[in-house]
Amino acid sequence: MELRHLRYFVAVADELSFSRAAERLQIAQPPLSQQIQALEAELGVQLFNRDKRPIQLTQAGQAFLEEARSTLTNLEQAIRKTQRIDQGELGHLTVGFTSSMANGVLPNVLRIFRQQYPETNLILREASSGSQIQGLRDHQTDIIFAYRAPALIEAKDLEVTLLSQETLVAVLPQHHPLATQSTISLLDLAKEDFVMPLRPVVFGLSEQIYALCAQAGFVPQVAQEAIFMVTILGLVAGEMGVSILPSSVQNLRREGVTYRPIQEEASANPLTIVRRQEHASLILQKFIDIAKNVSSQKLDQSTNLSTIL
């Protein structure tokens, strides 16, 4: 039995006429009659009572019609679902990120993607940068947000797409004497205690802070290290020290903390989106396109704001 037999049978059952069914199917009537006879022979039952005009379904034909319609409907749904998966409208996507990413472009990327592809199941995994890269290689995630680092630049099995680059800002307790200044020079922080991000949090951020301070002629006095950005902000608010963090932390709006631009040119490692070289799917590419577009718009807004200031 072939699917065309079911389509032919349903058409004749709908029209209760071989001639009208043949016209609807755009085939000649004799071949249609032959196909229905072949179907009846295969089933071993008579599907139509041809002695009446118009023809009528037999009791067996009525039962078979219900099942035939269900089979064709299920087939059409399967075809449509397969096509939509291929077109990136269905399926699932596992996205890895660190806690710091949740303060930047990630929320807008997720919001826009869910608006455009609501039937794609987004699975989010938060972990440290090092764990994210290993998780990507172990196929635990499909794509990750990560700050560019030598481990990514040198990786031959990963495809890295640049998204944006944030400036770094000085993070001070609200009532710190330096909080009255509109901008902060790194030299202003030479004698301050620092709350330093632990290395697994953001690739290279601790190293960047040390390098910036070294260029200014001092080594930061580390009073405390913390894993999460929100913890660093809390410790700064508790006057445990000052810090230098990507500007996106300002979205956290932590009370007791003041942010000030750094006079010297200071930028965090570029934000990238990373996938495995062999992993290429339409849904994945659409997610990357949205991430690039959101990052580009954010960069344009930052540039315009800098021009105004």
Domain 91-165+270-308 annotated CATH 3.30.70.100: no
If pLDDT is split at 50, 70 and 90, which confidence band does 200 have? low
Identity at 152, one-letter amino acid code: L
Residue 94 pLDDT greater than 80, yes or no: yes
Classified by CATH at the fold level, domain 168-261 comes out as D-Maltodextrin-Binding Protein; domain 2 (3.40.190)
Looking at the predicted structure, is the pLDDT value of residue 306 above 50? Answer: no
Please answer whether residues 21 and 14 qualify as being in contact, where contact means their C-beta atoms are separated by less than 8 angstroms.
yes
Give me the residue spans of the domains in the chain. Answer: 3-86, 91-165+270-308, 168-261
Q: State the helix-helix crossing angle for 3-15 and 29-43, rounded to 10 degrees.
A: 110
3-86: CATH topology is Arc Repressor Mutant, subunit A (1.10.10)
Determine the pLDDT at residue 303: 39
Asked if the domains at 3-86 and 168-261 fall in one CATH topology, the answer is no
Is residue 305 predicted with pLDDT exceeding 50? Answer: no
Q: Output the pLDDT for position 302.
A: 47
Give kind and range of the element (H or E) at residue 274. Answer: strand 271-276
275's enclosing H/E stretch is: strand 271-276
Summarize the confidence of residues 48-61 as an average pLDDT: 91
Report pTM.
0.62
Q: Would you say residue 130 has pLDDT above 80? A: no
Q: 171 near 226, Cβ under 8 Å?
A: no
Amino acid in position 223? A
Cβ–Cβ < 8 Å for 213, 219: yes
Mean pLDDT computed over 71-90: 78
